[in-house]
Amino acid sequence: MGRKRERGMWFVWQCMVAMPVTMSAMVGTEVFAAENASASATVAVSNPRDLSGVWMNEGELARLGLLKQKTASGRPAIRQQNEGVRTPPLPPLTPAYMKLYEKIRAVGRGGAPDPSLGRLSPTSASDCYWQGMVTMMSYPFPMEYLQTPGRITILFEAESQVRRIWMDGRKHPEGGDLQYTYNGNSIGHWEGNTLVVDTVGLRADTLMFGMPHSDETHIIEHIKKIDANRLQDEMTITDPKALTKPVTRTLTYDREPGWQIGEYSCMDNNRNQGQTGGAVDNGKYLDPTVTPGLSK
């Protein structure tokens, strides 16, 4: 594949542009080891504060058979999304939330649907409800970081969703000004070369790693580049109503310089919604020259 060459080209580009950016930002230049250890003479110079580019969660790359990175044990990274649904130990939930979690888990393990769960049903993704933070950060679709003055923006391929991380020093809105949304209200700052993101204002009707949560959820992320082509996001979730202690998960992403973010609408051909065989397929069935009945 042309992947290696693309990476090489990205490296050259980084050498051309990253260094002046780094110097002007007064954060110092870090030298990362090149991806290919055998080429030890070559090192990639990368601005550790330049997070821009397309990133894909490594667990999902492994599933697609595209992961080149290996974990320390030499095995492909395991899937990280929703592991709380299936993997013990139980999350540190307060009794009321643990009860709710058990109901969710029973459905997730193949039990009968439970209408009382509403959007907290483990089928909410296949029913095409938005998943919100933190699931979007571990979803099986890539995301693109954009860096512009005062702001870092994450564009998700799934549902063309957006996270805006305000870097201009503002605080979270308070009281009635705080909106409760799928992706929450995020403010960020740099600590060394780590982007620290603080998120509140998260709707309570979503799951986080398979767990229910409250409207008091507070997430702190420490996002940093491990090297030029890998990104790590350590998320710590605190929730005074739902959690007895913080839950921390670390997601790792691989840079995909050859990918363009596509468009993904879950409602395009979702057979869970009864669209059996009625695929839209880019509108071809809505073309009256293909489906003559439409022109009558």
Partner 1 sequence: MTAIKIRNAMVATILVGLSVSNAQAHHSGSMYDPVKVVTVEGVVKDWQWTNPHSFLQVLVRDPNGKFVEWSCEAGASVLLGRTGWERTSFKPGDKVIVLIHPLKNGSNGGTMVKATNETDHGKVYLYHAL
Determine the interface stretch with partner 1 among 17-25, 166-174, 225-233, 277-285 (rule: CB under 8 A).
277-285
Q: How far is the CB of 257 from partner 1 (least distance, A)?
A: 13
CA dist 286 → 37, 180, 295 (Å)? 53, 37, 10
Taking CB under 8 A as the rule, which mask of x and - marks residues 125-154 in contact with partner 1?
Answer: xx-x-----------xx-------------
Examine residue 162 and tell whether it contacts partner 1 (CB under 8 A).
no
Q: Which of residues 37-66 bind partner 1 (CB under 8 A)?
A: 60, 63-66
How many alpha carbons fall within 13 Å on the CB side of residue 234? 9
Q: Of 125 and 200, which has the nearer Cβ to partner 1? A: 125
Q: Of 60 and 239, which has the nearer Cβ to partner 1? A: 60
- Give the amino acid at 238: T
Examine residue 69 and tell whether it contacts partner 1 (CB under 8 A).
no
Examine residue 110 and tell whether it contacts partner 1 (CB under 8 A).
yes
How many residues bind partner 1, per CB under 8 A? 33
Examine residue 173 and tell whether it contacts partner 1 (CB under 8 A).
no
Which residues are near partner 1 by CB under 8 A?
60, 63-66, 79, 81-82, 110, 123, 125-126, 128, 140-141, 157, 259, 262-266, 268-272, 276-277, 279-282
